[in-house]
Amino acid sequence: MSKAVTIFIDGREISAFEGEKLLWVALRNGIYIPNLCAIRGKKRPSGSCRLCYVQVEGRSEPVTSCTLPVKEGLSVQTRSPRVDRLVRSAFELLLSHHRLDCRSCAKRKSCELLKLAKERGLKMRLSRLAPLEHEWPVDDSAETFVFDRSRCVLCGRCVWICREVARVGALGFSRRGIRRVVTTFQDVSMAQSRCTECGLCVEACPSGALYFKEGKQPAAAGQNLSRGG
């Protein structure tokens, strides 16, 4: 067991274990820090969404809290002008590649993008950027759920849970750069893939990219294994 330490988040004194990542300490203590790609239980954080920035005392540049190990006396602010600017920018960048039609989105009640926007007072529309195009059609081949990549934010939670929890490995990342995408082996449709339709990925997805078809939501729904524990 690692050592207990005392740290400060927004001036609040908090006890934590040395080496834990700051993001989880904050969330556990009811302090919100925007995040999409953080997965509890994943050994090395992927650090890809770039939303979890905080300002560490003594450092000029903001730091991602999902990769920041806490140590005795660590003091951070969850907000600062530089943090806010990076969060606003990362969020708008993600929105620029995300089909924005919240009213028709099946996930509008649980959408973490909407939650993030509300928490940080951000708009669900583009102010500086032009929307980018999507090349993937909606995949509704599975019995119980739909995969709409035009709403995917590439957080990787579905990939992780499919591999590490469901132990199926139907989903993975493929391609590089702007074409990076979550897909099946050889890009076959979900129905043709090795997917068992366990539904874990749908629950893990923070956005409207994966959602259950009408009336197909499994009974035990509502627990998000990539976030709990």
For position 49 contacting ligand FES by CB under 6 A, the verdict is yes
For position 161 contacting ligand FES by CB under 6 A, the verdict is no
Of 149 and 157, nearer to ligand FES (C-beta) is: 157
Q: How far apart are CB 149 and ligand FES at their closest, in Å?
A: 19
Q: How far apart are CB 150 and ligand FES at their closest, in Å?
A: 21
Q: How far apart are CB 216 and ligand FES at their closest, in Å?
A: 29
Start-end of H helices in the chain: 22-28, 81-96, 112-120, 157-160, 200-204
Of 24 and 145, nearer to ligand FES (C-beta) is: 24
Query: x/- site string to ligand FES, residues 29 to 48, per CB under 6 A?
Result: ------xxxx--------xx
3-class secondary structure, 76: strand
Chain Cα centroid distance, residue 68: 17
For position 5 contacting ligand FES by CB under 6 A, the verdict is no
Q: Provide φ and ψ at 146, rounded to 5°.
A: -120, 140
By a kind-dependent CB cut-off of 5 to 8 A, residue 44 interacts, out of another protein, ligand FES, none, with another protein
Cα dihedral across residues 38, 97, 197, 176: positive or negative: negative
DSSP state of 132: P
Q: Please provide the DSSP assignment of 157-204 as one string.
A: HHHHIIIIIS-----EEES-GGG-EEE-GGG--GGGSS-----HHHHH
Residue position matching structure tokens 């909407």: 114
Here the tokens at position 84 are 């806010």
Residue 99: CA count within 13 A, CB half-sphere:
19
By a kind-dependent CB cut-off of 5 to 8 A, residue 209 interacts, out of ligand FES, another protein, none, with none
For position 184 contacting ligand FES by CB under 6 A, the verdict is no
Q: In 3D, which of 99, 97, 53 has the Cα closest to residue 77?
A: 53
Q: How far apart are CB 90 and ligand FES at their closest, in Å?
A: 9
For position 50 contacting ligand FES by CB under 6 A, the verdict is yes
Q: How far apart are CB 218 and another protein at their closest, in Å?
A: 31
By a kind-dependent CB cut-off of 5 to 8 A, residue 96 interacts, out of another protein, ligand FES, none, with another protein
By a kind-dependent CB cut-off of 5 to 8 A, residue 35 interacts, out of another protein, ligand FES, none, with ligand FES
By a kind-dependent CB cut-off of 5 to 8 A, residue 199 interacts, out of another protein, ligand FES, none, with none
Which of 5, 9, 54, 66 is close enough to bind ligand FES by CB under 6 A?
Answer: 66
Is 61 buried (19+), middle (13-18) or exposed (0-12) by CB count in 10 A? exposed
Which chain residues interact with ligand FES by CB under 6 A? 35-38, 47-52, 64, 66
